[in-house]
Amino acid sequence: MSAYIPNTASQKHKMLSEIGVASVDDLFSDIPESVRLKRKLDLPEAKPEMELVRHMSQMARKNCNTDEYTCFLGAGAYDHYIPSVVRHIISRQEFYTAYTPYQPEISQGTLQAIFEYQTMICRLTGMDVSNASMYDGASALAEAASMACSVTRRKEVLIPECVHPEYREVLSTYARFAGYKVVVSSIKDGRTDINDIESKISDDTAAVIIQNPNFFGAIEDIEEMEEIAHKNKSLVIACCDPISLAILKSPGEAGADIAVGEGQSLGNPLSYGGPYLGFFAAKKELMRKMPGRIVGETVDREGKRGFVLTLQTREQHIRREKATSNICSNQSLNALSAAVYLTVMGKKGLKEVALLSAQKAHYAYEQLIKTGLFEPAFNMPFFREFVLRYKYDVAELNKKLIEKKIIGGYELGKTYPDLKDGWLLAVTEKRTREDIDRLVREVVSL
Amino acid sequence: MKKKDKSLIFEMSVPGRKAVTLPDCDVPYTDISNLIPGKFIRETEAELPEVSEVDAVRHYTRLSQMNYGVDSGFYPLGSCTMKYNPKVNEDMANLDGFAKVHPYQPEETVQGCLELLYETDRMLSEITGMDRVSLQPAAGAHGEMTGLMIIKAYHENRGDFKRKKIIVPDSAHGTNPASAAITGFDVSEVKSDERGGVDIEALKSLMNDEVAGLMLTNPNTLGLFEENIVKIAEVVHAAGGLLYYDGANANAIVGISRPGDMGFDVVHLNLHKTFSTPHGGGGPGSGPVGVKKDLIPFLPEPVIEKNESGYYLDYNRPLSIGKVRSFYGNFGVVVKAYAYICSLGANGFKDVAQTSVLNANYIMHKLKEYYKLPYDRICMHEVVFSGQKQKDMGASTLDIAKRLLDYGYHPPTIYFPLIVKEALMIEPTETESKETLDEFIDAMIKISEEIKEEPEKVKGAPYTTSVLRLDEAKAARDPKLIHTQ
């Protein structure tokens, strides 16, 4: 009956008689009568492909998309350009219909691509080892915190309020159930208040977390934090934006022990929040405590180079309740997108993307300030995202901009009551001068 | 597959080569040192590849040719439900109105996304017999973690803090005990009886007021339905525990029996198994969690609700466990599963379960003469053989798996479940034809004959793949996890 079942009724009959049962119901005799569903599922009738496409296209059209609307929204998900090559490569069935590479001899494509991904992530972050990916930036951060607690045998992590609110929320959820404490430190002028870190750090602190650029787009001083943390024998977890790493000091250079972050902007569409990928990299010493899959290089029987999943004694299928994490499926195809993106952008291109974004963001910042309707919220260097305080109502402003086909900034009042008038804007290399000028014109005309 | 020379993307780099041309800067250019203080700037450049577009495309195309996907051929990987991934579902997830939508756009600009999430919740609730489903967990193990958090939060909200134990069967997936451990539970194992189900007496002896719940895969990892499920639910509930359903094997029962009707309180599904979304070489998956009414307040936030003005994200949920992932989960994967559910409709699921079970029993029937069948009874969607007979003749289950590669198949799951020695777990799924099954059965029979006649040949397999058997011990002993120049 279903389009995706090839066996015909007569084939099924033949198979049943070979098995030696009268009907397919006989194969379900182990299911007690009392727990069988004695009616049809209450679902819509099956839609043939043509109707399905019509139905879902109509649904999709109810959303405003970033091709038709000019997007100045970031806050953890960014509208960077995705070169055409990325989609072509990840749409190859050999990649996207494969399972986790348990059989390395027929999975060298996935394995080598992930090995290359791990290498690129390490080169970007300045770390020694990377895993094959995590679910997203937030869960990667939470896993890093859990790992820090296990490595240091301490029960607390310190995190400033200027880390992405959703990351803090995910961290709190993981921590509550795993049994460690999340201590929140305060902000000063849009950045981590280093004095508050100093006053809150203790013998219980397993790790200090820093996001760079932070949720407000401001560039943090990881080195300053590193000194305090390491003096206290706490680890430093840097949560980084991967595009910014083309120009900003890497976590490795700044002395961090673990680097995590959201990899969406490396070739993954916004897709209403997922699937994205979390990247997770660390110093060599932490290798055997890392969560998730890791690919390693080896040789085959004839000495030829090949790749396998390795250090598996950390993982759930071997160690069960003693594993370093419960993660099994990760975001492999998204990691492949990131690898292809970093390959085609390359050493020069990624830097250009970062520089263009920074130039345009600073231009937008200047132009908006010039209108007299905004004031800078902080006096801090930023990369591609910044906070302005608006004279009037931010929600109202965003509503009016939507009518003009502009997706405005993130309303900070939603998560930071002190910043009710705060508007967090992101400007990527995709925004043209005309896009920015139009935003300014529309804002002024309201 | 032909042998190919392999070279890493880094080894192909030529300084100055590039694949992408970006537009010139159209705003006044300011030197970066005037925008960002020098101490925040990178000291050394990140050594990313420098290749042309055609270099990149050929490189990844060549890599893809060393991979094996469901579209390449039969993939009877037990417990993984490697069914066909319908192409139209990919198209739907790639529609601009789904793929190019920012997660923080105002609700009135994402009504289509919210409707899709809301409807998927409703349809999965109906399929599982639960009252509400969260689509936030990103994978099966993430769903397990979320479900266990909900169980813990539920007990604690009743003022019951002593329930620190989770019971899992000895046949359970490794993720079950691992998920229980990271959510702060102690793990107790309950053994299986001689028919492969949960040993009821052993379960009874483990149950007390410290047990938060029992995690169960049904059908279990032996491919057998828990005949005593009603009794099991009674025993667990009578002691105040909750019953958790690991949906890894839901393909066997969709449209026929519902976890909610069996007495389960929390369910996770794997959209990348039962609901046909592709595995992507290890993700992205999606692991929705469904719960019974009493547990709804504890679901991760936000929950999608609907009122007269449309769909909205409800964050006002004081008892929620919080968030387990940023935003709303692997939305793009949910789009594909929604398309699949719509394609199958009210009648399609029963057909899926019946055919997957028929296909597995057919393989069992045809192969049990050649391979040891530890539990000789009707199976559900997968069958577990033991390679013990072959092992005694000199070739192990690993060798059988590697030999299958030469015959053009992805091997079954091996050495799992742990309670079967030399296990070979075969799950054909409903999307394979009788012809494909017959060819696979022939290959398995041929291998069993090869083992009788020349086991050395099987032990040397594979011979036809892009690399031969790899030295996994070396990889672990002397880890080389990134490329160094």
CATH (domain of A146): 3.40.640.10
ipTM confidence score: 0.98
Q: In B, which residues are within 8 Å of A323 by CB distance?
A: 174, 178, 181
Which pLDDT value is given to residue A17? 97
Residue range B87-112: average pLDDT?
A: 98
Whether residues B332 and B242 share a domain: the answer is yes
Residue at A256 is within a domain: yes
B11 Cβ contact partners less than 8 Å away, ≥ 6 residues apart: none
Residue at B423 is within a domain: yes
Whether residues A182 and A323 share a domain: the answer is yes
Distance from CA of B312 to the nearest CA of A (A): 13
Which pLDDT value is given to residue A316? 86
Whether residues A291 and A371 share a domain: the answer is no
Tell me which of A340, A368, A387 is where a domain ends.
A340
Answer yes or no: is pLDDT of B3 > 60. Answer: no
Which pLDDT value is given to residue B1? 45
**Residues A304-350: tens digit of each pLDDT:** 999 999 999 888 888 888 888 999 999 999 999 999 999 999 999 99
Whether residues B352 and B319 share a domain: the answer is no
Residue at B422 is within a domain: yes
Q: What percent of chain A has pLDDT over 90?
A: 96
Answer yes or no: is pLDDT of A244 > 70. Answer: yes
Q: In B, which residues are within 8 Å of A176 by CB distance?
A: 321-322
Whether residues B161 and B55 share a domain: the answer is no
B261 close to A41: Cβ distance less than 8 angstroms: no
Residue at A39 is within a domain: no
Residue with tokens 């203080």: B37
List the single best residue of A10, A25, A27, A35 to mutate versus B (max B Cβ within 10 A): A35
**Do the chains contact at B46 and A271, CB–CB below 8 Å?**
no
Tell me which of B299, B323, B343 is where a domain ends.
B343
Whether residues A325 and A395 share a domain: the answer is no
Q: Which among A18, A60, A359 has the least Cβ separation from residue B30?
A: A359
- Pick left, alpha or beta for residue A287 (phi over 0 → left; psi -120 to 50 → alpha; otherwise beta): alpha
Q: Which among A87, A123, A312 has the least Cβ separation from residue B48?
A: A123
Whether residues A366 and A391 share a domain: the answer is yes
Residue at A320 is within a domain: yes
Tell me which of B314, B343, B372 is where a domain ends.
B343
Whether residues A334 and A219 share a domain: the answer is yes
Q: In A, which residues are within 8 Å of B475 by CB distance?
A: 296-298, 308, 310
**Do the chains contact at A270 and B101, CB–CB below 8 Å?**
yes
Whether residues A291 and A413 share a domain: the answer is no
Q: In B, which residues are within 8 Å of A245 by CB distance?
A: 42, 46
Whether residues A313 and A219 share a domain: the answer is yes
**Residues B280-331: tens digit of each pLDDT:** 999 999 999 999 999 999 999 999 999 999 999 999 999 999 999 999 999 9
Query: Where residue A399 sits, what CATH number does that domain have?
Result: 3.90.1150.10
Whether residues A74 and A99 share a domain: the answer is no
How many folded domains does chain B comprise?
Answer: 3
**Residues A182-200: tens digit of each pLDDT:** 999 999 999 999 999 999 9
* Residue-range definition of the domain harbouring residue B228: 88-343
**Do the chains contact at A93 and B70, CB–CB below 8 Å?**
yes
Answer yes or no: is pLDDT of B5 > 70. Answer: no
Residue at A26 is within a domain: no
How many folded domains does chain A comprise?
Answer: 2
* Residue-range definition of the domain harbouring residue A239: 84-340
**Do the chains contact at B181 and A322, CB–CB below 8 Å?**
yes
**Do the chains contact at B10 and A317, CB–CB below 8 Å?**
no
CB pairs under 8 A between A and B: 694
Answer yes or no: is pLDDT of A288 > 90. Answer: yes
Whether residues B151 and B200 share a domain: the answer is yes
Which pLDDT value is given to residue A319? 87
Whether residues B136 and B199 share a domain: the answer is yes
Residue range A25-34: average pLDDT?
A: 97
Both tokens of A137, joined, read 């930036």
Tell me which of A291, A321, A340 is where a domain ends.
A340
Whether residues B254 and B394 share a domain: the answer is no
Query: Where residue B431 sits, what CATH number does that domain have?
Result: 3.90.1150.10
Whether residues A285 and A167 share a domain: the answer is yes
Radius of gyration of the CA atoms of chain B, in A: 25
Q: In A, which residues are within 8 Å of B175 by CB distance?
A: 316-317, 326, 328
Residue range B17-42: average pLDDT?
A: 96
Whether residues B58 and B155 share a domain: the answer is no
**Do the chains contact at B401 and A103, CB–CB below 8 Å?**
yes
Q: Which among A120, A166, A323 has the least Cβ separation from residue B48?
A: A120
Distance from CA of A30 to the nearest CA of B (A): 5
Whether residues B198 and B278 share a domain: the answer is yes
Whether residues B316 and B371 share a domain: the answer is no
**Do the chains contact at B256 and A116, CB–CB below 8 Å?**
no
Residue at A290 is within a domain: yes
Enumerate the β-bridge partners of residue B424: B385, B414
Whether residues A303 and A210 share a domain: the answer is yes
Whether residues B299 and B446 share a domain: the answer is no
Whether residues B237 and B378 share a domain: the answer is no
Answer yes or no: is pLDDT of A240 > 80. Answer: yes
Q: Whole-number mean pLDDT of chain B?
A: 96
Distance from CA of B452 to the nearest CA of A (A): 24
Q: Which among A18, A164, A399 has the least Cβ separation from residue B362?
A: A18
Distance from CA of B211 to the nearest CA of A (A): 16
Whether residues A159 and A301 share a domain: the answer is yes
Whether residues A182 and A98 share a domain: the answer is yes
Which pLDDT value is given to residue B4? 47
Whether residues B207 and B291 share a domain: the answer is yes
Residue at A76 is within a domain: yes
**Residues B194-229: tens digit of each pLDDT:** 999 999 999 999 999 999 999 999 999 999 999 999
